[in-house]
Amino acid sequence: MRLRSFTTFQPKTLQEALFLRHKYKRNAVLKAGGTSLIPEMRLGLKKPDYVILLDLVEEIRVIEEKDDGLHIGAMASLQQIKKAKLNVHQSAAVANLYGPLIEAIDQVSAPSMHYQSTIGGNLCQDTRCIYYDQSEFWREIKGLCFKQGGDRCHAVPAAKSCHSVYQGDLAPALICMDAEVSVSSPKKTQIVKIADLFSGNGITPLRLPANSLITEIIIPPLGTKKIAYEKLSDRGALDYPVAGVAAFVKMRDGFVEEHGFVATSIGPAPLVVTAPLLNARRFDEDFISQAAGAVFKKARPVANTSAAPAYRRQMVKTLAEKALRRLLP
């Protein structure tokens, strides 16, 4: 399938990219690696007049280790991050951050795609739905859904809003790590927690002004926090998650001080589940089963992927248990 015609810009500096972003706003799309954008454009889901190619903006590709954590340029490829792990690190506190991040990266698509895919692109991927990621012909016959500017949701016929699903593999781990993004627009730069980046609205899943772009991802040192990500997918590679759960645990004097989960492929935004503990808890099977039960309770997947909602909900619990179990001391 050929791409519809559009005009491209290839800025060399962030300033130039922001100028173009500001000038063309929603008429333009940003292309990072393009591994989800290009298929979406082929399906006519996005029909931009302008495409801003970010591949030459070197300043947002840099990976830096600083006192306040790891700063990863939004255009850094996943492979570049895997390689950076092998470098000499500024401190053990920053070196620690690569482990859980790369564990999540290893779950993204396939290793040969990691040269092209970028961390910023992965984070900003659009939500998906079996009734949306289809050819234009197919969609027209079915009738336009909310995400295409229509008046219905095929996945949940009684719904009043879009129920598409966010399926990114990196957001769960990054949210567990308390990571932030730096969002630049021509006049200002803001630091936003990744957890707050998602709107929960399937039509516009990201809270990003039309004239802005994400320049870097900032991951603060973990301290005593431990993180694990578990993904279930139909295929072992090149696949979006049926469900994915990242879990984190913070221990103090042999007891669980803090814990939580972030699930992906459940709703239009990553699902964050934290339950404050009233008493110090031993980290044992009892605790694992009870904690994972809380994710099961909150997860409300709908019929918008290849797997049935009830199955996905059950699997979220199983994955939460698996992830926590890996963190047992």
Partner 1 sequence: MIILKVNGREHVLDVPDHKTLLEVLRGDLELTGVKEGCDRGECGACTVLIDGKPYRSCMMLAAEAQGKEIVTIEGLAKNGTLHPVQESFVNNQGVQCGFCTPGMVLTASAFLEENPKPTRDEAAKAISGNICRCTGYTKIIDSIMDASQKVNGGVSR
3-class SS at 1? coil
User: Per CB under 8 A, does 7 bind partner 1?
Assistant: yes
Residue from 210, 237, 280, 310 binding partner 1 (CB under 8 A): 237
Residue from 16, 55, 64, 103 binding partner 1 (CB under 8 A): 55
CA distance 144 to 156: 14
CA distance 234 to 318: 16
User: Per CB under 8 A, does 86 bind partner 1?
Assistant: no
Residues 105-124 interacting with partner 1 (rule: CB under 8 A)? 109-113, 115-116
Sign of CA dihedral 39, 146, 246, 68: positive
DSSP 8-state assignment for residue 145: B
Residue with Cβ nearer partner 1 (160 or 235) = 235
User: Per CB under 8 A, does 314 bind partner 1?
Assistant: no
Distance between alpha carbon 248 and the CA centroid of its chain, in Å?
17
Residue with Cβ nearer partner 1 (82 or 89) = 82
CA-based end-to-end distance of the chain: 51
Number of residues that bind partner 1 (CB under 8 A): 30
Segment interacting with partner 1, rule: CB under 8 A, options 103-111, 122-130, 249-257, 312-320? 103-111
Rg of the chain (C-alpha set): 20
Residue from 30, 45, 51, 288 binding partner 1 (CB under 8 A): 51
Binding mask 133-172 for partner 1 (x = CB under 8 A): ----------------------------------------
- Bridge partners, residue 271, by sequence: 263
Residue with Cβ nearer partner 1 (21 or 114) = 114
Roughly what angle, to the nearest 10 degrees, separates helices 285-298 and 309-326? 150
CA distance 305 to 326: 28
User: Is residue 294 within 8 Å of 273, Cβ to Cβ?
Assistant: yes
- Which tokens is 198 given? 């998602």
CA distance 25 to 21: 5
Residue from 44, 79, 199, 303 binding partner 1 (CB under 8 A): 79
Residue with Cβ nearer partner 1 (8 or 189) = 8
For residue 147, the minimal CB distance to partner 1 (Å) is 19
Q: Which residues bind partner 1 (CB under 8 A)?
A: 1-8, 10, 31, 33-35, 38-39, 42, 51, 53, 55, 79, 109-113, 115-116, 236-238
